[in-house]
Structure 1
C-alpha cells in the first residue's frame, strides 16, 4: 500500500491543498492520501485561529466525495505541538509494509533540518516536495541529512491560494468563491470563523 500523508494546520483548507494532494496521488500512484490537521505547528509562533475540531470538519467537507482522501484526526486528538516524526512512527506501526510518502510544499523543505528528528522522518517516509508552477526547488545543502534519495519532487500548477489570504478575505466579508470548496465556505460562515482575524 502506498500511503500519502499531508500535514498542515488547514486553517482553512483551500483548493491549493486539494490540488497538491491530488497531483501527488496521481503522480505517485498513491492508494490513499490522509490529511493530518496539526494541533499546533511547533515552527510557527501563532497557533491556528480555528480550533482543531473545526479544522478537521472543514477538511472533511472539502474532501467529501473523494474515495481516496481521508481526514486523520490523531494530531488534534493528541494535542500539543504536532511532530511529523511521532505521527509517521505511529502510522508506520499501524500499517506494516506500507510505503509512506510525506507531502509538503517545496518551500517547506528548507525547514526540514529544524524538525524534530529529521533523519528519522526520512527513514520513515519519502518526503515529497511539491513545486508550484515554474518554481523549482533543490534539496538544500543545509539538509545535510545523507538521505537526499528520500526526497521526491512533484510539480503542480501555480496557484496563489493561502490560508492567510482566505482568513483576511473572510474577515473583510470578501468572496471566497473558487478558493475553497463551497461546503467549506458555508461552514466557516455558519460558525462565524475568521471574522475577527486580522490576517497577520
Structure 2
C-alpha cells in the first residue's frame, strides 16, 4: 500500500489479487463507498432540484402585462398632476397626424391655465394681450404594475390631465441581480458559488474542493 498525491487529491494505492494496483481517493478510503456514493448522489439530487426550480420559475423572467385599470387623478404637493387613467379599446381618431406606419399606444391630454396677462399699449394706442408660450412637461412612470402619466407646467397651472392606454406594451420583468448555486465535478469535487450583477459588471465568489482541501476564489466579469 502506498500514498500518492495526484493533480486533484490524495490517492491511496492498494495491491489487488492477480497483480497490479488499485487507485482510490483517500477520502473514499476513510469514509467508505456507501458514504461516497451517498454524497455524490446527494449533490446530483440537489442539482436536479435546482434545475427543476429554474424551470418552474422561468415564468417570473417573462414580460408582464401592464395593469391598465381605470385610476383616479392625483394632485401632488408641487402642483403636478398624475393623470386620470381611462383605458379604451376603441379610441376616437387621433387629434393629429400620425407618421406612416406608426401604431398609437397611448394618448395624453392636458388642460393648462396660463397666468393672467397684463395688457400692453403700443405707440399707436393699440392694446395687446399676447400670451407667452406655455410649457407642459410629461413623465411616463412605472407604478404598481402599470404606467402613469405625470403632467406639470413651469409657467402655467395644470387643471386636468387624461391618460388613455390604447395598446399597452408589456412590462419587462423585475431585475434579479443575485444568483447562488452548487457544483459537482466528474471526479467528485464539491463546490458552491455566489454571483451579483452590478450594472455591466458581474462579481462572483467560489468555494471549490481541490485535492483534500477547500479553496476560495473571487471573479469579475463583464456583461455583453
TM-score range relative to shorter protein: under 0.3
Higher strand proportion (structure 1 or 2): 2
TM-score (norm 1): 0.20
Instruction: State the TM-score, normalized to the length of structure 2.
Output: 0.18
Choose between structure 1 and 2: higher helix proportion. Answer: 1
Instruction: Tell which has more relative contact order, 1 or 2 (C-alpha 8 A, sep 6+).
Output: 1
* Bigger-Rg structure (1/2): 2
